[in-house]
């Protein structure tokens, strides 16, 4: 009897180990071609600087990557101490990555910045944000590990900082960045995607952020932020409050 139990235990242990290996292989295969967490940190730091604008020149950022299935492949901060990036930016970066992937196709790269006007009251996609709520149980503590890997965290964000990722003309996932103004977030996300070599078929600027001042109002218009810069050029500042 003891021998039979020992044999059974060994079989179960072997199956469990095989399951862990297969699970790791499954995760790795699903995230093939996407930046690793170490690469995310390196790209974030390479992208930051005075040309980004915003509050911090893009130096205090969270970044997250999802695959085409919307599963989280990894997340990281530009700083070694994750508590020195806004804790709320972890969820926002993951939601932006999910959003950019969720609404882009091989033939249509749609950054989260370009969804802003569509989702405002009175426009055609108002209330879209209620369709895929974020799961906060998949967050890590502010100073902990990334949390939620290989899971679908969901969440929808409709301002700058999320871009779809492409390889060989095919969409393979999404990147989300948060930690500064939404305009600066977009600049960092755009730069990280370019550094990773994962631009859309139309090029790095095909889904770039647009502003009504220099570009004219359109359904893709995004509002200005404090110290707004685009591709290194100063665009303007968010208007001051009025009427209240």
Question: Is 18's pLDDT higher than 50?
Answer: no
What residue spans define the domains of the chain? 1-30, 36-236
The answer to whether domain 36-236 has CATH 3.30.450.150 is yes
Which pLDDT value is given to residue 176? 98
Neighbouring residues of 236: CB distance < 8 A, sequence distance ≥ 6: 211, 213, 224, 228
Residue 194: Cβ within 10 Å count: 16
10 Å CB burial of residue 23 (0-12, 13-18, 19+) is exposed
Residue 118: Cβ within 10 Å count: 16
Confidence bin at 26 (pLDDT 50/70/90)? very low
| Of 3-12, 217-226, 232-241, minimum mean pLDDT range | 3-12
Q: How is residue 206 written in tokens?
A: 């095909």
Query: What residue spans of the chain are helical by DSSP H?
Result: 2-30, 37-47, 88-102, 182-195, 212-215
Nearest alpha carbon to residue 52 among 189, 159, 163, 158: 189
Arithmetic mean of pLDDT over the chain: 90
Q: For the residues 202-230, what does the mean pLDDT come to?
A: 97
**Phi (first) and psi of residue 67, to 5 degrees:** -90, -175
Q: Where are the strands (E) in 114-230, listed by range?
A: 162-167, 170-178, 228-230
Q: What is the pLDDT of residues 145-162, one digit of tens each?
A: 768 999 999 999 999 999
Residue 13: Cβ within 10 Å count: 10
This prediction has a pTM of 0.88
In the DSSP assignment, the letter for residue 144 is S
Question: Is 3's pLDDT higher than 80?
Answer: no
Which pLDDT value is given to residue 244? 79
Q: What is the pLDDT of residues 112-148, one digit of tens each?
A: 999 999 999 999 999 999 999 999 999 998 777 768 9
b/e 58-93 (16+ beta carbons within 10 angstroms → b): bbbbbbbbbbbebbbbbbbbbbeebeebbeebbbbb
Q: Which residues pair with 178 in a beta bridge?
A: 62
Which pLDDT value is given to residue 112? 98
Which pLDDT value is given to residue 36? 97
Residue with tokens 């998949």: 138
Q: For the residues 67-86, what does the mean pLDDT come to?
A: 96
In the DSSP assignment, the letter for residue 132 is S
Which pLDDT value is given to residue 220? 97
Confidence bin at 7 (pLDDT 50/70/90)? very low
Question: Is 5's pLDDT higher than 70?
Answer: no
Q: Are 179 and 61 in contact (CB under 8 A)?
A: yes
Q: Say which residue, 2 or 57, is predicted with more confidence.
A: 57
Which pLDDT value is given to residue 66? 98
Question: Is 17's pLDDT higher than 70?
Answer: no
């Amino acid at each position: 009897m003891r021998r039979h139990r020992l044999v059974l235990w060994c079989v179960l242990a072997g199956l469990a180990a095989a399951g862990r290996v297969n699970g790791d292989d499954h995760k790795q295969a699903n995230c093939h071609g996407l930046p690793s967490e170490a690469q995310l940190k390196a790209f974030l730091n390479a992208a930051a600087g005075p040309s980004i604008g915003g509050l911090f020149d893009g130096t205090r950022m969270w970044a997250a990557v999802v695959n085409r299935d919307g599963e989280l492949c990894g997340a990281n901060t530009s700083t070694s101490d994750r508590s020195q990036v806004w804790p709320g930016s972890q969820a926002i970066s993951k939601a932006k990555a999910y959003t950019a992937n969720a609404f882009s196709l091989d033939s249509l790269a749609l950054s989260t910045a370009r969804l802003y006007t569509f989702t405002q009251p009175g426009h055609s996609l108002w209330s879209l944000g209620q369709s895929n709520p974020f799961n906060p149980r998949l967050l890590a503590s502010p100073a902990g590990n990334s949390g939620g890997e290989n899971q679908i965290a969901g969440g929808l964000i409709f301002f700058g900082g999320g871009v779809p990722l492409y390889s060989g003309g095919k969409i393979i996932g999404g990147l989300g960045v948060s930690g500064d103004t939404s305009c600066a977030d977009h600049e960092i996300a755009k730069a990280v995607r370019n550094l990773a070599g994962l631009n859309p078929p139309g090029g790095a600027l095909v889904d770039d952020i647009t502003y009504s001042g220099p570009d004219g109002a359109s359904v893709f218009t995004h509002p200005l932020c404090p110290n707004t810069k685009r591709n290194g050029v100063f665009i303007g500042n968010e208007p001051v409050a009025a009427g209240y």
